[in-house]
Amino acid sequence: MSEMRQISVAKGDGIGPEIMDAVLSVFEAAKVPITYDFIGMGKSYYDEGYETGMTPEAMESIENTGILFKGPMETPKGKGVKSINVTARKVWSTYANRRHFRTIEGVDTLYSRAGIPVDITVVRENIEDTYGGIEHMLSNDVALSRRFITRQGSEQVIRFAFEMARKEGFKKITCGHKANIMKLTDGLFLDVFYDVAKGYPEIQVEDVIVDALCMKLVQKPQDFEVIVLTNLQGDIVSDLCAGLVGGLGFAPSTNVGDNISIFEAVHGTAPDIAGKGIANPTSLLLSGIMMLRHLGLLKEAAQIEAALMVTLECGVHTGDFGQKDSPSVNTREFVANVITNLGKAPQRTAMRKSVADHVEFRKPIRPAHQKVLIGDVHDVELEGMDIFFVDDKRADEIAPGILKHLPETMTLKTLTNRGTVVWPDGSVYTECTTGYGARIIGKGVTKTDFWNLLGQLSEVLNIASTEFLYSIDGKSAYSKGQG
């Protein structure tokens, strides 16, 4: 007899309460041994003045149970408030977003009609990348985004993907990336991928540049099993994969961390159909099934998944999918069918072995303080500084002003504009914006020397930001300008 576990449940906005009630009624019928702490999150809490859309009690509940099961939520636009979804993923370090896209009986797609099976699991890094949202306007015309990719963040998500593959019997993992262009950021992610892969010799690995990956996914989706990617690329590839299997309504999503995990439907609040009782609960139900696996409730997860697949095989469908010539059912009727089918086995749908994901669930033990993820010690040397500034003059007019202030120990190597070298060489055809970069090299100089230089240069440059140039273990650790 399984022990009763408690989870935090936020029903959400729009169709959220309808589909959450539907899913919980299936759990009840399947005698799933969990209890629910219903918590306050969503639009009405923003309206009450909670900047993150959730009450302190809600946060406490999630930190106690370690599990948030949530319906879709509306983030008010243009009020300077934070997205509840993004906040939740970051604050609680749910570093891996796992989504499963597979051909589902009763869901008509180009691929199902062509007899091409799709069964792809996308594991996306969930915290870093441009989703750090670290953006600045350098002037009215120039916007800058910082993209953090860390070795530790990459390792967490990549290791999750390999552990999942090992446990669940996946044979191949593909790393999607753009390391041919973003040599340091995506290059780091790719290096970590191959480092981690060494510990899993039984799993076949490959890497594919993300644009080619998109084409291959459309041409031959059956060639892919597990794909691991950085955050933004993973976001886009996830939606592409959703399109292969009939849309977002059939793609469950889990955000997994070491302490807290979040399970949610990937679609939104569907305001156009909210309150009508006709929403499709499949995505939330599939996410709920992943949650049961995460909790180690494998028997219950397998039973409910089988019942859902039997229902879909029978052609039962809500209005948003399925055969147009057969009448659609409402949300209640749909889950009533699922409940009736509990205990039956699907005839045409291949079922995956029901195993827990790699995190052994335990209630979080509140840490005494934040954890710092630290790497090995390396030999880091200062080589120079990139200075980004805003100027409406040409590069050949700007350079003399900088050269005038440089001490003998430093040289102005290049001026770049949008990453292209425009001084001392450069094409007259290169169009420049007002956002420039000056690369100053100064071997043997200190950070203080650069801070002093910045003071001097402030007289001639409208400096926006700076970045030190290092070598790590003797290798230059910064990108070169193009051209």
Nearer to ligand NAI, 271 or 407 (CB): 271
**Interface residue with ligand NAI, options 64, 85, 340, 456 (CB under 6 A):** 85
Task: Looking at residues 290 to 329 of the shown chain, list those that interact with ligand NAI (rule: CB under 6 A).
Answer: 320
Nearer to ligand NAI, 268 or 296 (CB): 268
| Using rule CB under 6 A, residue 273 touches ligand NAI | yes
390 close to 455: Cβ distance less than 8 angstroms: no
Q: How far apart are CA 478 and CA 184, in angstroms?
A: 7
Element (H, E) at 129: strand 129-137
Nearest to ligand NAI of 74, 125 (CB atom)? 74
**Least Å from the CB of residue 349 to ligand NAI:** 20
For residue 137, the minimal CB distance to ligand NAI (Å) is 24
CB of 27 to ligand NAI, least distance (A): 18
Tell me the site size for ligand NAI, rule CB under 6 A.
19
142 CB-near residues (< 8 Å, 6+ apart) = 390, 433, 434, 435, 464
Q: Which is nearer to ligand NAI, 174 or 337 (CB)?
A: 337
In the bound complex, what is the minimum distance in angstroms from residue 271's beta carbon to ligand NAI?
6
Site mask for ligand NAI (CB under 6 A), range 371-400, x = bound: ------------------------------
Nearest-approach distance from CB 434 to ligand NAI, in angstroms = 34
Following DSSP, what letter does each residue of 85-104 receive, concatenated?
HHHHHHHTT--EEEEEEE--
Q: Which residue is nearest to ligand NAI (CB)?
A: 268
Nearest to 246 by CA among 71, 112, 98: 112
Smallest separation, CB 286 to ligand NAI (Å): 11
Residue closer to ligand NAI, measured from CB, 74 or 155:
74
| Segment 425-434 long-range contacts (CB within 8 Å, at least 24 positions apart) | 425/483, 426/395, 426/483, 427/483, 430/483, 432/394, 432/395, 433/141, 433/142, 434/139, 434/141, 434/142, 434/390, 434/391, 434/392
DSSP string, 273-327: TTTTT----HHHHHHHHHHHHHTT-HHHHHHHHHHHHHHHHTT---TTSS-TTS-
Identify which of residues 189 and 263 has a Cβ nearer to ligand NAI in the complex.
263
C-alpha 357: how far from its chain's center? 18
Q: What stretch of H or E contains 475?
A: strand 475-476
Contact map string, positions 251 to 270, toward ligand NAI, x by CB under 6 A: -------------x--xxxx
By CB under 6 A, the residues from 38 to 67 that bind ligand NAI are none
Verify binding: residue 179, ligand NAI, rule CB under 6 A: no
| Residue 249 in contact with ligand NAI, rule: CB under 6 A | yes
Per rule CB under 6 A, is residue 338 in the interface with ligand NAI?
Answer: no
Contacting residues for 336 by C-beta, under 8 A, at least 6 apart: none
Rg (CA), the chain: 26
Binding mask 65-84 for ligand NAI (x = CB under 6 A): -------xxxx---------
Would you tell me how many other CB atoms lie within 10 Å of the CB of residue 83?
15
Judged by the rule CB under 6 A, the positions of this chain that interact with ligand NAI are 15, 19, 72-75, 85, 249, 264, 267-273, 279-280, 320
